Amino acid sequence: MRLAAVLFAAVLTTLASAQSSGSLFRSERPDLTVVVRKHAIGPDLVEVTAQDAKYPPELLEEQVNRLAQELQTTPTGLRIFVHEIDPKNPSLKFLRATFSVPGLIDRTEGTLRVGAIARAFAHKGGERSDVLMVQFAGEQPSKKTVSRFEPKDGTVAIQGTFESPTHGVEYRVKIGTDDPNKINVPDRGPGTAPAKAPPKPVATVDWTLIALLVVAALAMGALVYSLLLRARPKTGQRPR
């Protein structure tokens, strides 16, 4: 009984460790959220929200203009304002920018240009946003969609998920450099699309864990069988 309990405890501990490691969705809280929507006939609609209402408006405007430069265009209808959900609650006050630019979503090529957004918000020589939540609302991934990009130099880490056609493709982006020129994210992935699952880390199959489960099950079965033999009365004897 003790052997089986120890084995099962080891399996659960290993699984919990595997599920909590390596996911930016669990380990990183976004400083900025960027939501991109495809317009039916015009440029893409973009909404950027800073979680801190004291985020410098001039910096946000500069970052929006850098994003437009990445796309070789200029932002249309740029508006930067403080968004209040509850005027009596300072924690529910955010700085927001709304504008439109073409080229962030290309459904024909299966391109979601998350790299351009990462470069735009990596500010050389000053304040930057370390973690972004980037959502391409209503978009479905293809085999060309970037799902994960984490170079060894640590300049950027990008992980994507796909929850539903309504929610679309969501990325968590961690920026590790002040130099946008060092961020080289491909527009198209190497033939893998974000998994169709909620944004929760999914542990891969570990054959060691399976072996532990099998051994534990066998140990439990042998113990139960042994206890049954001890409890069974001998032939010809009446139970007292």
For the stretch 148-185, pLDDT in tens is: 999 999 999 999 999 888 899 999 999 998 888 999 99
- pTM score, whole prediction: 0.68
Q: Which pair of structure tokens corresponds to residue 177?
A: 């450099």
pLDDT at 228 over 70: no
Cβ contact 46:63 at 8 Å: no
- Give the residue among 71, 78, 52 at the shortest CA–CA distance from 111: 71
Confidence of residue 98 (pLDDT cuts 50, 70, 90): very high
Confidence of residue 205 (pLDDT cuts 50, 70, 90): low
Can you give the pLDDT at residue 182? 92
Can you give the pLDDT at residue 130? 86
Can you give the pLDDT at residue 151? 93
Query: Concatenated DSSP letters for the chain?
Result: -HHHHHHHHHHHHHHHHHHHSS-HHHH---SEEEEEE--SSSSEEEEEEESSTTS-HHHHHHHHHHHHHHTTS--EEEEEEEEES-TT-GGGEEEEEEEEESSSEETTTTEE-HHHHHHHT--TTS---SEEEEEEET----TTS--EE--TT-SEEEEEEE--TTT-EEEEEEE--S-GGG----SS-SS----BB-SS--PPP-HHHHHHHHHHHHHHHHHHHHHHHHHSPPTT----
Residue type, 141: P
Calpha distance 124→102 (Å, rounded): 25
Can you give the pLDDT at residue 206? 56
Q: At what angle do helices 2-20 and 207-231 cross, to 10 degrees?
A: 160
Q: Which pair of structure tokens corresponds to residue 239?
A: 């139970």
Calpha distance 195→202 (Å, rounded): 10
For the stretch 13-65, pLDDT in tens is: 333 333 334 789 888 889 899 999 999 889 999 999 998 888 999 999 999 99
- Give the residue among 190, 159, 192, 155 at the shortest CA–CA distance from 175: 155
